[in-house]
């Protein structure tokens, strides 16, 4: 029979590209990783991993063990935490995934604050322009903004997110007329490519009439880093879509101007995605989610 240490070990194997990569994470030699894996396979009487020189892949049995083993470890962690309610009892690793700009500006600082409150928790935050959920190396929480495809993941809304069209005063002084979304076809547009969204399809709704307009832009500049696209806009290079929380200072200073204010862009709520429902989450995950729900609105209003 395998034990919790075996499950923890195999979870690392499942989340690694190769046995050598797993050995580096475990700070042991590759032969010792191979030997321990073989011992687990002998215990279960099945092959868990297909091995070759450079990579590994899970067999069907390995995939089932990785998925259900992770859930069992979470339940064990929750049981341990439920027995004691002290802060020091909240321990273990918290794995987070977020988009680049939002993660850098908000989730990173909040993660540090939380770790100071719960010193026995270690936090790993991975940022990406296309944050994804991996079945075998899944995070505890993924923070997401924008169009959300159908998913079996549990969704918690953290804050409403209003997007707006923006340009610098210098650009607006010299550009063609801009009275309707269709006029964008004659303008310099800047695209932010993230979250697998269609970055060149901009959709508008008139606030008063509810008239809709969909414009396919041909961006003169595009990037997967939000800070770069905003800097281009500040330099007068063209128009961008941006969340209101990310341009509060620029709007207040006048360095950016809200364009076509009679129209609304598609809203994209800021959400937390989790694999487990509230009943089955570990206490550290629940506490961090509650912490972000409490602190994030304050940060969005301040910045």
Concatenated DSSP letters of 26-94: HTS-HHHHHHHHHHHHHHHTS--EEE-SS-EEE-HHHHHHHHHHHHHHHHHHHHHHHH--SGGG--EEE
Beta-carbon count within 10 A of 184 CB: 22
Domain limits, CATH 3.40.190.290, in the chain: 163-265
**279 pLDDT more than 70:** no
Whole-prediction pTM value? 0.61
Dihedrals phi, psi of 2, to nearest 5 degrees: -85, 160
Collect all residues with Cβ–Cβ distance below 8 Å to 255 and sequence separation of at least 6.
Answer: 168, 169, 234
Strand partners, 167: 257
pLDDT tens digits for range 225-264 = 888 999 999 999 999 999 888 898 899 999 999 999 999 9
Domain limits, CATH 3.40.190.10, in the chain: 85-161+268-303
Contact predicate 73/90, CB 8 Å: no
> Per CATH, the architecture of 85-161+268-303 is what?
3-Layer(aba) Sandwich (3.40)
Q: How far apart are CA 176 and CA 187, in angstroms?
A: 7
Domain limits, CATH 1.10.10.10, in the chain: 1-83
Q: How far apart are CA 77 and CA 81, in angstroms?
A: 6
Nearest of 161, 172, 163 to residue 255 by alpha carbon = 172
Domain 163-265 in CATH 3.40.190.290? The answer is yes
Q: How far apart are CA 175 and CA 135, in angstroms?
A: 48
Domain 1-83 in CATH 3.40.50.1860? The answer is no
pLDDT tens digits for range 105-139 = 899 999 999 999 999 999 999 988 777 776 555 78
């Amino acid at each position: 029979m395998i034990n919790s240490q075996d499950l923890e070990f195999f979870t690392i194997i499942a989340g690694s590209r190769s046995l050598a990569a797993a050995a580096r994470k475990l700070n042991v030699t590759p032969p010792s990783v191979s030997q321990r894996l073989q011992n687990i396979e002998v215990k279960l009487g099945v092959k868990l991993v297909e091995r070759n020189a450079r990579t590994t892949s899970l067999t069907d049995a390995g995939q089932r063990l990785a998925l259900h083993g992770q859930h069992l470890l979470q339940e064990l962690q929750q049981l341990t935490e439920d027995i004691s309610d002290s802060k020091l009892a909240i321990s273990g690793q918290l794995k987070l995934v977020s988009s680049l700009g939002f993660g850098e500006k908000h989730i990173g600082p909040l993660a540090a604050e939380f770790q100071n409150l719960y010193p026995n928790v270690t936090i790993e935050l991975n940022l990406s322009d296309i944050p994804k959920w991996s079945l075998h190396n899944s995070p505890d929480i993924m923070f997401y903004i924008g169009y959300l495809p159908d998913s079996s993941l549990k969704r918690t809304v953290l804050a409403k997110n209003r997007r707006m069209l923006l340009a610098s005063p210098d650009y607006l002084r010299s550009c063609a007329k801009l009275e309707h979304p269709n006029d964008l076809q004659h303008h310099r547009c800047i695209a932010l490519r993230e979250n697998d969204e269609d970055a060149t399809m901009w959709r508008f709704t008139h606030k008063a009439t509810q008239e809709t307009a969909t414009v396919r832009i041909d961006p003169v500049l595009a990037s997967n880093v939000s800070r770069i696209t905003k800097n281009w806009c500040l330099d007068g290079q063209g128009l961008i879509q941006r969340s209101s929380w990310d341009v509060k200072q620029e709007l207040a200073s006048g360095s950016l101007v809200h364009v076509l204010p009679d129209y609304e862009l598609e809203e994209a709520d800021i959400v937390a995605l989790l694999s487990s429902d509230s009943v089955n989450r570990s206490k550290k995950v629940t506490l961090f989610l509650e912490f972000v729900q409490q602190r994030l609105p304050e940060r969005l209003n301040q910045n």
